[in-house]
Every structure is written in structure tokens, then in C-alpha cells.
Chains A and B, each alone.
Chain A
Amino acid sequence: MRNSSSHKVVKVLYFIAVAAVIVAIAYSFKILAVPVLLALILKLLLDPVVAWFESRGMKRMNVLIGLSLSATLVLVVLGAIFIPAILRECKNIVSNLPVYKQSFIAAAGQLHDSALKLMPGVSVPDFQAMLTERLSKPGGFKMETLFHYLPDVFEIFMTIALVPIITFFFLADGHLINKFLMSLVPNTYFEMSVLLVNRVLTQIRQYIRGQMLDAAYVGLCMTIGLLLTHTHYAIVLGILSGLGNLIPYVGPSLGLVAAALLMLLSPEGLTNITPLLWLGFCVFLTHFTEIHFVYPIVVGNSVDLHPLVVILGVVVGGTLAGIVGMLLAVPIMGIAKVSFETVHSYLKSYSII
């Protein structure tokens, strides 16, 4: 009896030590967190595709090799079409930043003049002079510094290079990881764990698949709409809208605000408001169809997070990992909520809690 309880203590200490080592490794290699997470998401999305080919009698390894080659081909073709356009748009935004800066200062001057006309005799601060001083002061705010919040080139390169490799191994031998993890579960809790893990994974899979499809719909519609209305930087803004859609409450307006700012600050921005109206119509149409038709089908009974939780999560995600952290914060919170609810209800049904 004493022997068995001391064995249990050793087991618990062993698992704590293993967990501590894993956390330490994960912390030391923070750079791996994003690629591993993205690879896990891709694995969940691609599993049904691989299973479909397997059901047609193909061997898993052959399916994976074929899938990798096709994915590379598709990415190369899409990259050849879109990457030059995206880079051109990004380059244009950067080279036009001084123009936008001047427009911004001029708009501040107009605002100052209008305020003086409206309220004669009232001392109105000179916005134009203040902005000019602030934007030209060494070490002061520069519009270019906005780009510093984007992940650096090394991180992007590492992620692009690692994600396909990790996904391939997850798809090829993910079952071994699953078997290994289940082998750590004591026999008493084995059946309960199998049912529980499956329920949680099903929920997570549905959530991720739904969110991805929804974001893809928004990104595609916005890009097409902006291209049809000859809006500048249509592809970049479309991608931004799709990615932003992953963040509830904040996201849908992200594309709109960015696009509106770029339009307003362009030299003809304040004189010609037609593109702005087209943009508003495009955003309205995209989100109207998304909310009423796409979201209920692809996401369905999704995780409803309280707006305050979303905002706090996005702030924490942004502080920890920049823009990537902001984008991943809500899906991670959604996964955590789904997992917690499922585990809680299941443990209750087993009368454990």
C-alpha cells in the first residue's frame, strides 16, 4: 500500500518535471509557438482531405507527398500572381507616407481655420503647428514607425519555412503523438479521456474551420469589391479585412478604418468622396451577407465571448506577440472556452465534480 502511494508521488513528480521542461523549452523557443499553432490548425483543417484520399484506397504517405507537391504548386502560382501585386501595394503605401503626412498636417490646418471661424475670440490651439513639430521632432512619432509593429522578416521567414514541415509531420504521424499522450492516462480514466478529448477536438475543429471559412469569405469579398471600385491597395486591404475578421467587434471595422484613412489622406481624398462611398457600400454588403448567410452556416453555434473579454484578450495578445498575438488571441480564447465548457459538462456527467 505504502509502496503504491509512493509510486503515485513519484509519478506525479515525474509528470510535473516533464511539464516544467516542456514549458521551459516552449518559453525559450517562443519563436516556435506561432508555427506550431498554425501547423496544428492546418492539420485539423487538412485531416478530412487526407482521409478522403485514403478512403479511395491511397496510402497515407503517398497522399501527403501528393498534397505537399500540389500545395507547393498552388502557392507558387498564387505567389507569382499575388505577391508582386501585394509588394507593389506595400511599396506604394510606404513611398506615399510623406504625402499622407502632409495631407494629415494640411487637414489639421483646415480644422484649425474652421474652428477659428466658428468660434471667433476663442483661443484654439494650433493643431497644424503642433503636428508639424511632433512629426518632425527627432525621436518623436513618425508614421513609418507604424510598420515596426509588424513581425520582423526573420520571424515571417521562419514561420513560412516551418509551418509546412511541422504540418507534414503532424499529418503523417500525429496519431503517434495522440497514442503517446493517451498512454500517459491511467487505465481508470482512459475511457473518459477518450470521449472527452474527442468531444473537445470536435468542437475546436468546427470552431477553427468556421472562423477560417468566414474570414476567407470576408477577405475575398472585400478584395473583389475594392478591385471593382478601383480602390488603391485593394489586395492588401482585402487581406487585412479577412484577417481582421478573426477578431470579433474590432476586426470588421479594421479594414474599413484602414481603407478610409488611406483614401482620406490621399491628395484627392477630401475633394472626391465617391471612392469612400463605394468603400462603405462594399463593407456593408460584405458584412451583411456574412452575418446573415455565411456566419450561421459555417460557424453556427460559435463561441460567444463577452466584448470585454475580447478587448482585454486582444490587448494582452498584442502586448505579448504584436499583431500575430492580436490575431491569435480570440481563437485561442475561443478554444479555451469550448474546452472548458466541454470538460466541465463531461466531468459533471461522470459525477467527478
Chain B
Amino acid sequence: MVNAVWGNIFGSPREKKVIIETLGQLPAFEGLSKNDLAQVERVTHERRYKAGEPVFDEKMPGAGMYIVLSGEVVIEKLIGDDNKIELATVGEKCFFGELALIDEMPRSAGARAKIDSVLLAFCKPDLENLLEHNPGLAARIVRNVAKMICRRLVETNNRMEALETRISTLSHKEK
């Protein structure tokens, strides 16, 4: 009833249920109850980006992570002054920028919408509010994010190892 009144004035364009379902499928919100997911949904922000529009720039203070509801986002890194290399492309129901949830350090890479995209932002201040008022829920999210960061770290280490092996093989061949 209340939502019906306010929904007409401030109504969000995407159905709340769909967002809650999407959140439930993400590893960052694994093991959260429907009530917990509803609390997370309340603090998320839906953002629309046109193709080519930056989501955030490298080296700027990070506010939080983004979940791709539709579209594609490119993660890119600046090499030198002008050259940008694409590190990854993030598709639907995937997320990026999760490091900013833990620390307000400058972004290690930039993000740009590849095509018209709809993203869901979950920001650090909201996670901090949850930590203060609902530590149980916040702890579960932080643990999930930490797990994801660990997994990505292992992946990066494996890649580094593979690259080092390749470089040493190439240098042996050259000798």
C-alpha cells in the first residue's frame, strides 16, 4: 500500500522483485535470505549508460561495485598517456568494481559501457551503514566479496605464472 503511494511518485523503473532475484544469483550475495536481499535492494541505485559512456575513471576514488543488469561494460587500463588496453568485458548478471567496497582507494582501472547498459550500483557507504546497523548481513556480504577477491587473485597468479613460463620459454628459444 505504502509502496503503491510512493511508487507512483518515485517509482523505480525496474521491478523490485527482478532486482532481488538478480542479486540472489550473484556470488557477492550468496546465502542471503529474501529479507536480507530486500535490504540490499533498498540501497542500490539503478543507472543507465549510453554506449561509450564512462562508468568510472581510473585513479578516481571508488564508491562501490556495479552489477550489469543488461548490456556490456569494458574494463580498461591506461598505458602511458593515451593508450588504453581492454582488460575484460563484463556481461549481464556479472559485476565489477568490488574492490571499492572494501577500500576507498583510487580505482585501479576504468570502466566504460560497451553498448547501452543498465547497471545496479551497490556503494561502500551503504555497506558501512549495514555494518553498523546489521553487522550479520554486512559480514556475510564482506565474506563473499573477500572470497571473490581471493578467487580473482588466484586467477591472476595463475595467469602471471603462465606468462612467466611463456616468457622464459621464449627467452630460452632466443638463446
Contacts and interface: CB of A to CB of B under 8 A. Distances in A.
A172 B125 contact: no
Contacts of A126: none
A179 B133 contact: no
Given A191-B56, A191-B63, A180 B47 contact: no
Contact of B133 (A48, A169, A173, A187): A48
B7 interface: yes
Given A54-B35, A55-B135, A195-B63, A187 B45 contact: no
B104 interface: yes
Given A175-B43, A182-B45, A55 B121 contact: no
A59 B42 CA distance: 13
Most buried by B among A55, A180, A199, A350: A55
B91 to A, nearest CB: 20
Given A173-B2, A173-B6, A180-B10, A54 B39 contact: yes
B2 A61 contact: yes
Contacts of B56: 191
A119 interface: no
A183 B119 CA distance: 12
Contacts of B48: 187
Contact of A169 (B2, B63, B64): B2
B121 A194 contact: yes
A168 to B, nearest CB: 8
A194 B136 contact: no
B9 to A, nearest CB: 8
A194 B35 contact: no
A284 interface: no
Contacts of B132: 48
A177 interface: yes
A190 B121 contact: yes
B64 A194 contact: yes
Nearest to B3: A173
Interface residues of B, number: 43
Contacts of A195: 61, 63, 104, 123-125
A169 B7 CA distance: 12
Interface in B82-139: 104, 121, 123-126, 128-129, 132-137
Contacts of A61: 2
Nearest to B11: A176
A69 B134 CA distance: 23
B60 interface: yes
A156 B51 CA distance: 54
A11 to B, nearest CB: 15
A307 to B, nearest CB: 34
Contacts of A188: 54
Contacts of B39: 54, 60
A198 interface: yes
B12 A190 contact: no
Interface in B132-150: 132-137
A52 interface: yes
A51 B42 CA distance: 12
Contact of A187 (B10, B53, B61): B53
Contacts of B5: 169, 173
B62 A179 contact: no
B62 A191 contact: yes
Given A169-B6, A194-B123, A195-B125, A176 B61 contact: no
A6 B59 CA distance: 31
Contact of A176 (B12, B53, B129): B12
A176 B10 contact: yes
B126 to A, nearest CB: 8
Contact of A177 (B10, B43, B46, B121): B10
A88 B62 CA distance: 59
A188 B55 CA distance: 8
Interface in B4-18: 5-7, 9-12
Given A52-B133, A195-B104, A190 B47 contact: yes
B6 A55 contact: no
Interface string A34-53: 00000000000001100110
Interface of B: 2-3, 5-7, 9-12, 33, 35, 38-39, 42-43, 45-49, 53-56, 60-64, 104, 121, 123-126, 128-129, 132-137
Interface of A: 47-48, 51-52, 54-55, 57, 59-61, 169, 172-173, 175-177, 179-180, 182-183, 187-188, 190-192, 194-195, 198-199, 349-350
6 contacts: A52-B133, A54-B39, A55-B136, A61-B2, A175-B43, A187-B48
